[in-house]
Structure 1
Amino acid sequence: MHRQRALIRTFGLAAAVVFGAGACGPQHGGAGPAAPSAPVASPSASASASGQDDKPGSPSPSASDSASPSGSPSEAPSRSAAPVVKAVMANGDETDQVRELQARLRQLKLMTSAPTGFYGSKTTAAVKAFQSQHGLDATGAVDEATWRKIQELSRKPTEEELRPPTTNEVAAPDPRCMRGRVMCISKESRTLAWMIDGKVVSSMDVRFGSENTPTREGLFQVEWKAKDWTSTIYHTPMPYSMFFSQGQAVHYSADFAARGYAGASHGCVNVRDKAKLSALFDQVRVGDQVVVYW
């Protein structure tokens, strides 16, 4: 009997850990579109979804148009369809080309945030503004004409412009971050600094849980990692998850990349730069420290 009870307690604890591990997901404050939970659409698919691949059909001639006064059939006037311009980049795309687009838009003073590689609402608004300024169709999607004009008026971005250290200035590290291998996470500056023996190796912008589902503060350890993970509660992707406290994790958020600080997580530490987090994920080991502080 004692053995059966021990097995039940062990199974219940394991189930709770698995259930809690998927407890993160984006919260929406009502502004902006929800984050895409399905695989990112290709440029051509995005264009089709916005109607840019729909060719106008030729209307059928009426009965009065199809016959001549003498009663013999007459040829209906030929009407050629308008040329279709496919989008090179559009909302929902996530590529290195999008990162270059964002860096060029920053040069043109149309974006202020650092490039993320994700084409969201901010990029769409910046592209619309550019198109309006230069007499182009203000669709918010980058067609060939828009891309040529952007390239003409800007220069090829440097690596520093494509991947700046961070949008936010890194805060002074907590004293607990100064020894060993630590993800040092400041709620005040909204940054994550990866530190080894007191030296900042890399840094990136982060966001946190809402008032109702706050990110826990304190000293933790990386408990386990999952490169491809989906929340078991909210069913949203959580790539490059590094779990540190009862289901709370550092992970990439497409919603954060798209909407910035207009949203929040359900307690996790969201990162919006996927490339930076991918590199960090490869460096962090299970057992490394995590410090979350103000």
Structure 2
Amino acid sequence: MAVLGGCTVQGPDGEQQSPVRIELPSGTPSPKSAPPDDKPSAPAAPAAPAVLWKPGDKGRDIRELQARLRQIAWLFDGPTGVYDDLTERAVRGFQGKRGLPKTGRTDRVTWERLLKMTREPGRWDLYLMGGQPADAPDARCLTGRVLCVSKESRTLRWMVDGRTELTVPVRFGSEYTPTREGVFSVYWKSRHHVSTLYDSPMPYAMFFSGGQAVHYSSDFAARGYAGASHGCVNVADEPAIREIFARVRTGDKVVVHW
């Protein structure tokens, strides 16, 4: 038994009594020396993978994401370069099919899984439906009124005295029906033209070389560069070709170049 002392008490007659004794069980630990709780702590939750892209994001990386989703039939539109509702839905479906959290956002785990299942997209996979930047205009386009058509960037510039007023993506003929290159002029305009050779509509046609013309193509608008023309310069943007058609005059120059 442990004994604590040092205090004395006075009796009723003024007689001193024995010191007060307080008995404690031996070996009782103080609160500071109490053993720690033996229960194991819960493991920390794993950190969520970093989100690379999410709805509303834009740019070349989004084009690649969309092009890769197209390769495995999770997306059928685009690429547009905009993380839109269709892209979010495609990502969510891809994630669910592979047991990943269906967030609709592209995190690092989702992206790495997609990379393993697809190939590196080429330039025209990324710009299947247009949207590509135009290259520099040919020197022959820098004077006068010109439809300046680049086969390298697949674009058409409407230019006046060296100034670009409108730019649109265009599509050309296949290797069997190539679009002619060189300097030409618009010799005929036909707003509601229909091809007598292929029995297909050619709205806003501006003929520059035989039966070859710059015109609107609903097939280009629907299929992009997955298709080809019969030699004409196809435009998929109907409001743009309507405006170009209104501005171009018979006799204006057409330059088709690489």
TM-score by length of 2: 0.54
Q: Relative to total residues, which structure has the larger strand share, 1 or 2?
A: 2
Residues 1:192 and 2:138 aligned together: no
Residue in 2 that maps onto 1:235: 199
Amino acid at match of 2:198: Y
CA 226–106 in structure 1, closer or farther in 2 if over 3 Å, else same: farther
Aligned residue in 2 for 1:277 = 241
C-alpha separation in 2, matches of 1:175 and 1:237 = 33
Structure 1 alignment gaps of length 5 or more: 1-104, 114-120, 136-165
SS at match of 2:173: coil
Identity of aligned residues (%): 55
- The offset of 1:233, in angstroms, is 1.6
**What's the CA shift string for 1:211-253, capped at 9, x where partnerless?**
1110000110001111111111211111111000001000011
List alignment gaps of at least 5 residues for structure 2. Answer: 1-53, 65-75, 94-129
Q: Structure 2 matches for 1:245-260, cutoff 5 A? A: 245-260=209-224
Asked if 1:122 corresponds to 2:77, the answer is yes
Q: 1:224 aligns with which of 188, 198, 218?
A: 188
Deviation, structure 1 residue 127? 6.2
Q: Distance in 2 between matches of 1:207 and 1:123?
A: 16
Match of 1:261 in 2: 225
Contact 2:194 2:201 in 1 (8 A): yes
Q: Say which structure, 1 or 2, has more relative contact order (CA 8 Å, 6+ apart).
A: 1
1:10-34 deviations in Å (ceiling 9; x for gaps)? xxxxxxxxxxxxxxxxxxxxxxxxx
May I ask how many residue pairs the two structures share in their alignment? 155
> What is the letter of the counterpart of residue 254 of structure 1?
S
Q: Is the helix fraction higher in 1 or 2?
A: 1
Which letter maps to 1:193?
R
Rg: which structure is higher?
2
| Runs of 4+ residues deviating >2 angstroms | 105-113, 126-135
- State the 1:272 CA deviation: 0.9
Aligned to 1:175: 139
Q: 1:267 to 1:111 in 2, by over 3 A?
A: farther
- Contact preservation (8 Å) 2:220, 2:227: yes
C-alpha displacement of 1:173: 1.2
